[in-house]
A and B are shown apart, each in its own frame.
Chain A
């Protein structure tokens, strides 16, 4: 396994800068997630690392050595895509054995068998080894694709939205298995996704990509608790963070078009106009709460319920545990957990440390 560095990577397509001075590094054994909306440049970044695309500027470095002049096969990366690319006429066994049978490897049939069986066990597909891949379900096919990547020990795994085509339950299950596998194997992994829950749950660190630029790198906690901008704050977390225009007058701040007044925080210089972000779990119903609004909608999700509370013209989303017995139209008293308020400038940039 290895340490991967991207230094000043720039990639242009006619008329567009797809990647604009990308810098980050993936540490040995790290699960690194590249998160961003469609078109941000995630897949291009992955393809440049694999050597499938050539950057115009900058360098890709594996363990201190530039691989810019190496072919994809010399770079020894393993790719897993959203679309399973398996040989449909071959059995699962032969699909898994395929990368090991390369004449360059000179592995004995016995060693190959051992390796394939080990891999199948890790991915819980031992019972499928004799099956043709055309006869597998989507989830099984994606397990085999992942198996074919991990059966050899490449320097880095590059995964491009591998769970996106699976249904919700399967995605959840495979997400957990993939994380377990990566942690127990200590494999260096770059995982590309547009799904914030995959990023939060699987990553050691996340890089947020937007319009070809890296706009924040950090642990899932960093990204969730200290988003660098309103864009990032809204990209992670569900239900979405509440973002409001707000005004400051002396020591009082007010959410625009609402009856919500709070005291200004210490240690942050707020202009008269700014933006505020409050995660729904930090708006807490409390019979003795200092703030109030009217309950206009509830969305029970099972483990939690989303409450929509209206104050003036503004609506606040609050997330509370369990199923609630509040009634629509009720006046709700609540508190806002003061330490968890995010302050942003009008341009969207974070104001506090």
Chain B
């Protein structure tokens, strides 16, 4: 079990600041996801924690012990890359035993651990088979068993599901999370896929441009994104963000003469947050808009998408801005139809376009 602490950890490659000084703590038993687009510094951060990459500055603590300059093998951390690489000439059992044999564990201990992990992953009946005889899903389970069998203090996983097709990814995602729920091993999981991050993480560290944009639970990063980047990056489609002008409790928007009455409880926060600035960005999730004939806002149908259990209606509100509304699955609006809608006042957010930061609602009473 492990608590991992990063203090002012940074990485430079020559002139390139790959990771700017960052601080965060991963608590014992926590599943933390490092999420961001490629090149944001998430993998470099993970590699510094594992010891595969030396830090350019800062300190890494494992259970309070400074491990910043320890060799990877001395950190008691298991690094899991993509799951598919099994030794084809070894049976499932031999594949799983491999890391334990490398550690010099006794035969009994190895047997005990293998049967434990095989039971957990429901692969007891497959232990005698070679990888070539197994289905894709079962191969993944064996690979997962091999990673788990060592019982390290913490798991570091770098896009382990990246090479899988969509179906397997979905089922392995649940499988890994289920194992975490049962075992509570401290886990740091790197991905660029926001769906994976939301589905799996106890907390998500959203990164971009070599720095942390927000740390929060899935619900926090989804409903209360700290800035425009997080608002766009999380969700599919991302948060709707409309540029407007704020004056006297009302936001006016370009294009279809849209005026939005700011909910009463937001007014003073907005005035403070905008610091006299006229521009404001109104943000709301696609499911926070309700189609309503007498709705205050209006858009013109650009496209509709039936996505299975629900549909997304795409509306242009001016030449450049398209917004997305999640609706009932069977909708048929011809292109260019005008559609009125309202925004659920509980789910609206505002951002300062200059700083790109969210404006926080003041908590009163």
Contacts and interface: CB of A to CB of B under 8 A. Distances in A.
A220 B311 CA distance: 12
Given A239-B170, A308-B174, A303 B286 contact: yes
Interface in B223-263: 223, 232-238
A297 interface: yes
A184 B309 contact: no
A238 B237 contact: no
Contact of A301 (B192, B199, B335): B199
A183 B330 CA distance: 18
A81 interface: no
B177 A297 contact: yes
B198 A197 contact: no
Interface string B301-331: 0110111111010100000001000100010
B356 interface: no
A118 interface: no
A296 B314 CA distance: 36
Interface residues of A, number: 42
A299 B200 contact: yes
A240 B170 contact: yes
B306 A323 contact: no
Interface in B162-195: 166-167, 170-171, 173-174, 177-178, 181, 192-195
A220 B287 contact: no
A292 B216 CA distance: 32
A237 B170 CA distance: 12
Interface in B262-315: 285-287, 302-303, 305-310, 312, 314
A296 B180 CA distance: 12
Nearest to A194: B165
B133 interface: no
A235 to B, nearest CB: 9
A302 B198 contact: yes
Contact of B235 (A200, A237, A302): A302
From B37, B302, B303, residue with most partner A Cβ within 10 Å = B303
A175 B306 CA distance: 12
B305 A201 contact: yes
A319 interface: yes
B285 A303 contact: yes
A296 B286 CA distance: 29
B218 interface: yes
B305 A328 contact: no
A319 to B, nearest CB: 6
A297 B335 contact: no
B350 interface: no
Contacts of A240: 167, 170-171
A74 interface: no
Contact of A302 (B167, B285, B302, B303): B285
A296 B174 CA distance: 10
Interface string B187-215: 00000111100111000000000000000
B308 A236 contact: yes
Interface in B144-168: 166-167
A175 B237 CA distance: 12
A222 to B, nearest CB: 11
A28 to B, nearest CB: 18
A186 B292 CA distance: 30
B219 interface: yes
B193 A299 contact: no
Nearest to B178: A297
Interface stretch (A5-13, A57-65, A105-113, A166-174): A166-174
Contact of B218 (A237, A297, A321, A323): A323
A49 to B, nearest CB: 26
Contacts of B351: none
A169 B173 contact: no
B31 interface: no
From B178, B219, B223, B309, residue with most partner A Cβ within 10 Å = B309
Contact of A303 (B167, B177, B193, B287): B287
B37 A296 contact: no
Interface in A273-301: 279-281, 296-297, 299-301
A39 to B, nearest CB: 12
Given A297-B174, A302-B222, 10 more contacts: A176-B322, A200-B305, A201-B305, A201-B312, A220-B306, A224-B306, A237-B309, A302-B234, A303-B310, A322-B287
20 contacts: A167-B192, A168-B193, A169-B238, A172-B237, A176-B302, A176-B314, A180-B335, A220-B306, A279-B309, A299-B177, A299-B198, A300-B198, A302-B198, A302-B218, A302-B234, A302-B285, A306-B174, A306-B199, A321-B287, A323-B222
Interface of B: 37, 166-167, 170-171, 173-174, 177-178, 181, 192-195, 198-200, 218-219, 222-223, 232-238, 285-287, 302-303, 305-310, 312, 314, 322, 326, 330, 335
Interface of A: 167-169, 172, 175-176, 179-180, 183-184, 195-197, 200-202, 220-221, 224, 234, 236-240, 279-281, 296-297, 299-303, 306, 308, 319, 321-323, 328
| Complex A-B, nearest 10 residue pairs according to Cβ-Cβ distance, in ascending order | A201-B305, A299-B199, A281-B309, A302-B222, A180-B303, A237-B308, A300-B218, A303-B287, A179-B303, A176-B303
